[in-house]
Structure 1
Amino acid sequence: MFTRTESFKEFLRHFPIVSIIVSIHIVLYFLTVLPFLPNLWLFEHFAGVNLYIIEGEYWRLITPIFMHNGFPHMLFNSFSLVLFGPALEQMLGKGKFLFVYLTAGIAANLATLLLEPLTYIHVGASGAIFGLFGFFAAVIMFRKDMISYANSQLILTITIIGVIMTFLQPNINVIAHLFGLLAGFLIGVGLLPNKKRLAAFINQSNSGYSRKQRPSLKGVSPSKLILWGSIVILALLGFLFR
């Protein structure tokens, strides 16, 4: 699910939204570092500045999702999106995936506006990326048929590590991480379950899994699982330690 085996051209064709978002990350980053451009102009006009948002510059609830402060910040956010985004884009389709990503990012920025001081300044896609984690959590809870047991355990582990590291690292927008995660989960709850499936989930949770019901790891290569699990965890740690 998180293993990328496509060529570059195949990736662009199969996952256009992820590709476009990463391209925007890269272009905006280079526009901020090229010596012949006024590199502070983009930050001055598009970074999330709570005071300016209050004064009516509402586009700053969206534009910080695509802006990054330095190459490591841009690289690890983009790498995280390349790892975790394609599975959801394939699962939901282009329109719904973009809706989930942007809505989670905007919710994270709104929470930052409401809970941080007016002088607070922020950039980065982390709120939207945590929104993807939250959506995966909803998939795991309400639509187990859409994700394998091995992948569900992997994504839960990564999400838990991400939340823990959010509180341990300096200069992290904790509000954006937590509310992006919550927004992604709530969007998933709204999009995924129906009444019958929700009732089945509640009954299953009360009764527990039988041995026959538990999803099987058969057919999953342990070496591949360990390899890609390590890559994903390293990417997440890099994303948080940037």
Structure 2
Amino acid sequence: MSQLKYSPVTCVFVALNCLVFLLMYIVSGGAVEDARLLIQFGALYPPLIHWDLGQSYRLLSAIFVHIGFMHFFSNTLTIYFLGQQIERLYGSVRFFFMYLLAGLMGNLFCLVFSPEVIVAGASTSIYGLFTILVVLRWLPNPYLQHLGQSYLPLLVMNLVFSLAPGVSLAGHLGGLVGGACLALSLPLHPYGLVHGRRGQLLGLGVYVGLFLITLATVL
């Protein structure tokens, strides 16, 4: 109950992952890696958006769709632990937008740089969360500095793993960029902005600019 009280948005995102995966399993009889099933449940397939902008909802719905049990389990477990930390630091409302906007940027990168690949999973958001924590190392607080420093090797290690076949490097890099922009843009009480007003304008400018550039590729 304490997790639900202090990290309600994290619990909602975890529950959504579980619900979608369970429905996929029931509908498919266990064949949860089938491409048609993934698309049916909201995975990102860039040609669909190029043909019909009404399919753009997939840029967000794909965050909650996973390819196989291990993909689902590892991502959901990571969200559970990372999400609690960030939600308690930033509050539920800011965490809600951080999670979705980091994932959105990751999927926008996939739309541009992986235009023929089916993309699904919360890892776009997760890389954003990792980066948000790493950026906190620049705040004048020993605990936050240690927390951010401790996640830096983990972020680098996961980026190396992103080079493996079948892994969406574009999505992970997009989530990282999105997370960095959000960490600069949103203040952390009581420390304020990580790099002041200029950093906030830079973060917002880069995020909005990349959003518009990627949007222009499908118009």
TM-score range, shorter chain: 0.7 to 0.9
One-letter code aligned to 1:127? T
- Residue 27 of structure 1 deviates from its aligned partner by 0.7
What is the alpha-carbon distance in structure 1 between the residues aligned to residue 195 and residue 147 of structure 2? 25
1 CA distance for matches of 2:10 and 2:61? 16
Q: Is the 8 A contact 1:127 1:179 kept in 2?
A: yes
The number of residues matched between the two structures is 188
2:35 aligned with 1:43, yes or no? no
1:10-21 superposed matches below 5 A: 10-21=2-13
Query: How many angstroms does 1:138 deviate by?
Result: 2.0
TM-score normalised to structure 2 length: 0.78
CA offsets per residue over residues 181-210 of structure 1, 9 Å max, x none? Answer: 1110111112232766989xxxxxxxxxxx
The answer as to whether partners of 1:49 and 1:120 remain within 8 angstroms in 2 is yes
What SS class does the counterpart of residue 141 from structure 2 fall into?
Answer: helix
1:101 aligns with 2:99: yes
Q: Please, which runs of 5 or more residues in structure 1 have no aligned partner?
A: 1-8, 200-242
DSSP-derived class of the 2:162 partner: helix
Q: Within 5 Å, which residues of 2 pair with 1:166-205? A: 166-167=162-163, 169-192=164-187, 193=193
* Superposition pairs of residues 141-160 of structure 1, within 5 angstroms: 141=138, 143-145=139-141, 147-160=143-156
State percent identity of aligned pairs: 25
Counterpart amino acid of residue 102 in structure 1 = L
The amino acid that maps onto 1:12 is L
Cα distance in 2 for residues equivalent to 1:195 and 1:81: 26
> What pairs up with 1:69-108 in 2 under 5 angstroms?
69-108=67-106
Q: 1:22 to 1:194 in 2, by over 3 A?
A: closer
Q: Which amino acid aligns with 1:96?
A: R
Deviations for 1:5-37, whole angstroms, at most 9, x for unmatched residues? Answer: xxxx21122111110101011111010111587
Whichever of the two has the greater Rg, that structure is 1
Instruction: State whether residues 133 and 147 of structure 2, in contact with CA within 8 Å, keep that contact through their aligned partners in structure 1.
Output: no
Residue 32 and residue 145 in structure 1: after superposition, are their counterparts in 2 closer, same or farther (change >3 A)? same
Distance 1:195 1:110, change over 3 A: closer
Partners in 2 of 1:196 and 1:180 — Cα distance? 22
- Report the equivalent of 1:139: 136
Structure 2 match to 1:207: none
SS at match of 1:160: helix
2:122 aligned with 1:125: yes
